[in-house]
A = this chain, B = another copy of it.
């Protein structure tokens, strides 16, 4: 009954008890609005109305509208990172670890559609993103993969003829692309199905054949 409930997060929890109330309300409002609209077509007026906080407060708490978006994204990313690290504690074997990270990621995307939407869609066609703080966190997340891959290479579990960067890219790419239609068409993510495909297609191809 108590399994790993504590690990599951959703936006509401993230920010609830820190920062001034106005700031929290604004962030929560944008988060909610993102469920049904895309960032660019959400106006600051709308955010203000939805949050009940005056429009100009957005500029007190955040650099600007985009800063607010990145703030939300960063919170999600931090939370995801911790959660995934936690889930990794008792897993042995690099391939198994990769599988666990991917499964966990899929679950989090499924539970937090807004997060997935921001990360996969909203943030990309904004040039500044690739120099942003949020992107730094994304790279931290990606490093999780390369670290595990290195571990696997060292342990002789993973084949050495591909290059860890390409492996990571393939894994990330496969995951993201599997869920993109679900995010866009607002369908649930079937984590087991996805894992099956990832496992059979990519992970199996990774391991050193004995």
> Among the listed stretches A61-69, A72-80, A101-109, A162-170, which one makes contact with chain B, having 4 or more residues with CB under 8 Å of it?
A162-170
> Among the listed stretches A3-11, A81-89, A180-188, which one makes contact with chain B, having 4 or more residues with CB under 8 Å of it?
A180-188
Which residues from 84 to 135 on chain A have a C-beta closer than 8 Å to any C-beta of chain B? 121-122, 124-125, 127, 130
**How many copies make up the complex?**
4
CB distance from A209 to the nearest CB of B (A): 10
Contact residues in B for A2 (Cβ distance below 8 Å): none
Chain A contacts to B: CB under 8 angstroms: 38-40, 121-122, 124-125, 127, 130, 161-163, 166-167, 169-170, 172-174, 176-178, 180-181, 184-185, 193, 196-197, 200-202, 204-206
Cross-chain pairs A/B with CB under 8 angstroms, 23 sampled: A38-B125, A40-B40, A40-B125, A130-B184, A130-B185, A161-B200, A162-B201, A163-B197, A166-B193, A166-B197, A167-B197, A169-B178, A170-B177, A170-B178, A170-B202, A172-B177, A173-B177, A173-B178, A176-B177, A200-B205, A201-B202, A202-B205, A204-B205
